[in-house]
Structure 1
Amino acid sequence: MNHSLSISTPPTSFFCQLDYEDPSQRNGFELDIRVFDGKFYATTKIRIEIEDINDSAPIITGPKQTSILENVERKELVAEFVATDLDENDFIE
């Protein structure tokens, strides 16, 4: 007789919220699976890899305020900002 086993997402036995951006989870998890038929046990290991999703907003860093002269030339740099995103392979525009 065959039976199937399903794992909920995320499994309730995980000790933390799954997050690809967490360096300790980036390499995934290895789970030990054990089943019992009333007489015998069988065990196996499965590897669960976490895939990145776009779940982090970009972060903008730069000055909160700046002053410029009223005669500033067009296209002259008046402030510089940096945008980063924790999600891998995100394109910031």
Structure 2
Amino acid sequence: MGIGMQIVYLGCSATAQLEAEAVAQLLRLQRFGALLSNFHLAIEALRLRSGTPLYDVRLDLVTQTNELQPIGRYAAENAEEAVRCAFDAAEKTLRNAARSPVRQR
């Protein structure tokens, strides 16, 4: 079974292009399935005084033991770009986790 993803849109609606980007990024990280069970992705459109939208994207990883690991917040004028940045950070985090030796308790 693959990794799941929950997406929440705040102040904006889902578009086919944005959904496709999120799915493409999810598929890119499927190789880390042994470490994860789910992603929580929040995409929020913020309205700047200039009238230009700014998209704030937050990504959390849910581990196999149901622990929540926040990745961070990424903002861009383009929602797809902000999603890519969040998933790039997640990939870096997961690569480091995969290299780390397992801690014994």
Query: Same fold per TM (> 0.5)?
Result: no
- Tell which structure's C-alpha radius of gyration is larger: 1
Q: Taking structure 1 as the reference length, what is the TM-score of the superposition?
A: 0.27
More helix, by proportion: 2
TM-score, normalising length: structure 2:
0.25
> Which has the larger share of strand?
2
